[in-house]
Structure 1
Amino acid sequence: MLRLPRTTLVLALLGAALVQPARSADLRPSLPPPPLPPEAVEVGTGWYLRADFTESFYDRPKDATLVDPANPVPPLTRLRLSHEGGYGGGVGYKINDWLRVDVTVDQRLRSSFSTYSSGSNFRTGYNVEAGQLDALTGLVNVYADLGTWWGLTPYIGGGVGFADKNFRRGYTQTTCILDSCDGVPGTGLRDSVKRPDRSVTTLAWALSGGVSYAIGGGFSVDASYRYVNLGRAKSGIDEFGYDTRLKDVTANEVRVGLRYMLTGGPDPVRY
C-alpha cells in the first residue's frame, strides 16, 4: 500500500477546497447586461423650405352668367385671360425616401381679362367686357418621389386648398355698328360703364409632376408642371345691375424654384 507524505496530503486537500468554490461560482446564472441608453432624437429632421417662380397659362374660362328670363343677358363669348407670372413659397416635411408633404402659398400677378357679348348676335352692335384678375392660392400637397437616377429625382403629386381671386378694374364698353343699337342715337363707341372690384374665395385643387436635382449644401433645384383649378370668379355689380361671372378658372403652370433641407432626412434611393 502506497502511503503519501503527510505534507503532500494536506496540500492536496487545500487545493480541492479552493477549486470547489470556483466551480460553484461558474454554475451561478450570469446577470443580464445593463440596458443601453436611449438613442438621441434629432429635432427637425426632414423639414425643408421652398421658393418658386410660376408662369400661369390660363385656359379659356367659362361664362357663369345667371339666366333670368325676365331680364335676359347676352352670353359671353371669346373669353380670354392672358398668361402671367407669379411667385410663392412654402414649408414641407420629407417623411421617408418616397413620400413628402408641404404647404405652399402662391401669388399670381394680374392677368388681363376680356370677353364679348351681343344681344343682337353682333348684327347691330356688341359689348366688350374687360378687367384684371389675380389669384392667391394656399395648398396642402402630397408628393411621391420615384427614386433617383444620376442625381435626378422625378415625382408626382396633388394638392387641395383655397383660391382667392380678385377681379379689378372691370368695365363694359359698348360699340354700335348701326345707329341707336343701344337706344341712344348714333354709332361707334359709347361711354364705358365701370364695375366695382370684388374678391371671391373658393375651393382649389392641383395636380403636378416634376423633377428635382440636388446641388449640394442642402439645396435642390426643382422644375415642375402643375394643373390648377381655381374655381369661380366675378366682378362687382355696376349701376345697371350687371356683373361678369366666370367658372372653371384653370391654368397650366410651369414652376422653377429651390428647396432647402433644414437638416438631414432620409437619403434618396439611388439606382
Structure 2
Amino acid sequence: MTCTKRILFASFYTVLAGPAFAADYEPVPFQPEMPAVAAPVAAASGWYLRGDVGHSFDAKGDGSYDVWDRDSGTATEFDYDEIKLRGNTDFSVGVGYRFNQHFRADATLAYWKRDVFGSSSAFDGTVTFDDTSKASAWEMMANAYVDLITWGKVTPYIGGGLGFTRVKYGTMKNRSWCNGGAPGCVDYWADHGGLSSTRFTWALMAGMTVDITSSTKLDFGYRYSHIKGGKAFGWDASDLAAGATGTQGRDDGFGVHQVRAGLRYEFGGAQAAYQPEPLPVYNEGPAPVYK
C-alpha cells in the first residue's frame, strides 16, 4: 500500500470510529455537595452528682437579748447594735436530675462553721456588752436552674432554692463593763449556753458551667442566701438560779454572699457538648471513562 493510500485509509477510519468513541463518553455534570454542618447535640436527661467548695464573706445582722432584773424578777429587752457572722469556707454535696437541655434541679446538703460577734450598749449607754461565740450549721436546700444558652464549652445559668438551715450556737462568752462610773454598776463576765434552731432559708444563684468532658462540668457561681432569725443563747448560771427561763439572746437572721466552685458529673451523657464544625466536602463527580 502506497503512503498516499495509507493516509487516506487512516483518515477514513477516524471519521467512522470517532462517533463511537464519543458515544461511550458520558460526562457527569458538576454537583457540589452542601457544606456539612454539625447537628446540635440532643440534650440528655438523667441523674447527676455535684460537689462544691465556697467562700462566704462577712455578714452583718441584727438581734436582741434580755437582761434579767433579779430584784423584780422580770426581763428587759435590748437590741444589739450589730451582730457579725465572720466569713469562712463552706462545703456542699448534692444529687440532681436534668430534665432537658435548659432545665435541671437538685437537692444539696451543706455544712459551715463561723465566728459570731455581737456588741451593744444598754441603760442609756452606761453599760456596754460584748459577746463572742461560734455558730455551725447544716443546710438542706432544693434548687432549680435554667441553663440559658451554650457558647462552645460555656453555659451560663441562673437559679433559686428553698430549704432549711439548722443553726447551732456554741457557748457565748459575755462581757459587760460600766461606762462613766455609773452608781451601782459592776463589770461582769459570764458564759451562756448556746441554743439550736431550724430556720427557713432561700437562695438565688448565677454562674456558668464549663465542659471538661461531655459528662463532667466545672461550675463557677455566685450565691446569695438569707437565713431567717432564731434562738442564739440562753441565760447564765446566776440568772438561771435567780429564776430566769427560756431564751435570752436571738439573732434576726443573716444575708450571706458567697462565691463557689465545684464539679458536676452527669450520668445521662453528653449535654450540649462542644462539637467542632467539619470542613466542607465537594463532590466533583466520577472521572470520565474512555472505551
Instruction: State the TM-score, normalizing by the size of structure 1.
Output: 0.73
Q: 1:115 aligns with which of 114, 118, 139?
A: 118
Q: Tell me: CA distance 1:67–1:94, structure 2 relative to 1, closer, same or farther (3 Å).
A: farther
Q: 1:244 aligns with which of 239, 249, 259?
A: 249
The residue that corresponds to 2:29 in the other structure is: none
The residue that corresponds to 2:47 in the other structure is: 47
- Cα offset for 1:117? 2.1
Contact 2:216–2:263 under 8 Å retained in 1: yes
The residue that corresponds to 2:157 in the other structure is: 155
Q: Tell me: CA distance 1:266–1:215, structure 2 relative to 1, closer, same or farther (3 Å).
A: closer
Q: Tell me: CA distance 1:195–1:67, structure 2 relative to 1, closer, same or farther (3 Å).
A: closer
Q: 1:202 aligns with which of 181, 199, 203?
A: 199
The residue that corresponds to 1:78 in the other structure is: 82
User: What is the DSSP-based 3-state SS (H/G/I as helix, E as strand, rest coil) of the residue aligned with 2:57?
Assistant: strand
The residue that corresponds to 1:93 in the other structure is: 97
CA distance in 2, matches of 1:178, 1:63: 26
- Cα offset for 1:66? 7.0
Partner letter of residue 267 of structure 2?
L
- Cα offset for 1:236? 2.9
- Cα offset for 1:150? 2.5
Query: Structure 1 unaligned runs (5+)?
Result: 1-43, 185-189
- Cα offset for 1:98? 0.6
Structure 1 stretches of 4+ with a deviation exceeding 6 A read none
**Across the two proteins, how many residue pairs are aligned to each other?**
220
User: What is the DSSP-based 3-state SS (H/G/I as helix, E as strand, rest coil) of the residue aligned with 2:170?
Assistant: strand
Q: Tell me: CA distance 1:93–1:119, structure 2 relative to 1, closer, same or farther (3 Å).
A: same
CA distance in 2, matches of 1:65, 1:243: 5
Query: Structure 2 unaligned runs (5+)?
Result: 1-43, 69-73, 277-291
CA distance in 1, matches of 2:55, 2:183: 41
The 5-angstrom pairing of residues 19-58 of structure 1 reads 46-58=46-58
Contact 1:149–1:270 under 8 Å retained in 2: no
Q: Tell me: CA distance 1:182–1:231, structure 2 relative to 1, closer, same or farther (3 Å).
A: farther
Superposed CA deviations along residues 159-179 of structure 1, whole A, max 9, x for unmatched, are 111111111121210122333
- Cα offset for 1:65? 4.4
Percent of aligned positions that are identical: 27
The residue that corresponds to 1:126 in the other structure is: 128
Instruction: State the TM-score, normalizing by the size of structure 2.
Output: 0.69
Alignment pair present for 1:136 and 2:138: yes
Superposed CA deviations along residues 97-154 of structure 1, whole A, max 9, x for unmatched, are 1100111111112x111122222343x3311122111222111111000011131100
User: What is the DSSP-based 3-state SS (H/G/I as helix, E as strand, rest coil) of the residue aligned with 1:216?
Assistant: coil
The 5-angstrom pairing of residues 182-221 of structure 1 reads 183-184=185-186, 190-216=187-213, 218-221=215-218
- Cα offset for 1:180? 5.6
CA distance in 1, matches of 2:183, 2:218: 57
Superposed CA deviations along residues 34-67 of structure 1, whole A, max 9, x for unmatched, are xxxxxxxxxx952110000011124311224479
CA distance in 2, matches of 1:133, 1:259: 29
Q: 2:147 aligns with which of 145, 152, 177?
A: 145
